[in-house]
Amino acid sequence: MGKPRVWLGFAVSIIFLIIAFRGQDLARVGEALRQANYWLLPLAILLYGVGLWVRCLRWSVLLRAVHRCPARELFPVVTVGFMANNLLPLRAGEVVRAYLLTNRRGVPTSTALATIAVEKVFDGLTMLAFMLVASLSVALTAELWHVQLVAGLLFGGLLVLLALLTAEWSRHWLLQRGLRRLPARIAAPVGQAAHTFLAGLGTLRRRDDLLAVVGASLATWLLEAAMYAVIALSFGLSLSPAAVLLVTAVANLATLIPASPGYVGPFEAGVLLALAGAVTVPREVALSYAIAVHAALYFPVTAVGLYYWWRESLSWRTVQALSAKEGGD
């Protein structure tokens, strides 16, 4: 099943690239890329790097209920995970992060995956908040309202699910009554996995830690939005704060669509949907801007992740096996 999903991801990327490049004047796209002020790029990458560090702080808080992991020890794990997402299909980076954390700090894999799942929910909710704030001063197109509706249903539903899993009565039902219905040989390993997974949700029951996670999520994405704003200045685009929040949110929500490694295609289409659709930036400029932002998001963290991968003498074959396992091979 994994290989068909991989090929489907590449097909999705091609479709979205066709959408993004359809009707474009490639000469104007190239001209916009050549004329951009790339002296601002180091500042943009620095902002993104600080945002990555805040992600590590957030993950440290999420893990606090089960294990003390300083942010400095999580930084290599996070960058390797981002690298794997950029180079391997099926979002293997999330599985790689859990695998590395298990091997480095002994955190159960299902616990690590639970904290990563919480991360993703808070990321999605932050993107929804960005879109809501942006809609106060930017007229959203029908397509953008649809994006907001679908994302709202998805992440709202996931938030409700997390709330249920952290409630005492639902935990009792899942770990007691639910497991009784399974055969004994299956109930034991499933019960163990459920216990360790639910342990990873422990932060959601601690108010101070939960507030820290919310604050870190906002800080992380505001730093990334600042990166988007700096690169916009490189292209002579004076985007309003609302427009910056909008393009940051839509571009990242678009990467939820299963595609090729590095989210090629959906990301560019998402940027165009926000900039050319709602902000009325010329499509050629919007596409050149999308290419530059994607490159800034892709190459530095991939290089850093590869460095840590090499320094830790990790097995590339292991990562490929994890990716295949995630895909159902």
Q: How confident is the model at residue 135 (pLDDT cuts 50, 70, 90)?
A: very high
DSSP label of 312: T
Q: Are 148 and 125 in contact (CB under 8 A)?
A: no
Predicted local distance difference test score (pLDDT) of residue 1: 43
**Model pLDDT for residues 249-259, shown as the tens digit of each residue:** 999 999 998 88
How much is the average pLDDT of 295-312? 94
How much is the average pLDDT of 111-115? 92
> Which residue is associated with the tokens 């695998």?
99
Predicted local distance difference test score (pLDDT) of residue 59: 96
> Which residue is associated with the tokens 């704003």?
229
Q: How many CA atoms lie within 13 A of 273 on its CB side?
A: 27
If one compares 193 and 16, the residue with the highest pLDDT of the two is 16
Which SS3 state, helix, strand or coil, does residue 200 take? coil
pLDDT above 90 (res 196)? no
How much is the average pLDDT of 65-71? 90
Q: How confident is the model at residue 10 (pLDDT cuts 50, 70, 90)?
A: confident
Here the tokens at position 205 are 């029951």
| Residue spans of alpha helices (H) in the chain | 2-21, 26-35, 41-63, 71-87, 92-105, 109-134, 142-166, 168-172, 179-180, 184-199, 207-234, 241-254, 266-272, 283-311, 316-326
Which SS3 state, helix, strand or coil, does residue 181 take? coil
Give the number of other CB atoms < 10 A from CB of residue 82.
22
Torsion of CA 121, 251, 323, 77, to 10 degrees: -70
Predicted local distance difference test score (pLDDT) of residue 329: 45
Share of the chain above pLDDT 90, in %: 66
**Model pLDDT for residues 265-286, shown as the tens digit of each residue:** 999 999 999 999 999 999 999 9
Rounded to 5°, angle at Cα 135 from 132 and 140: 120
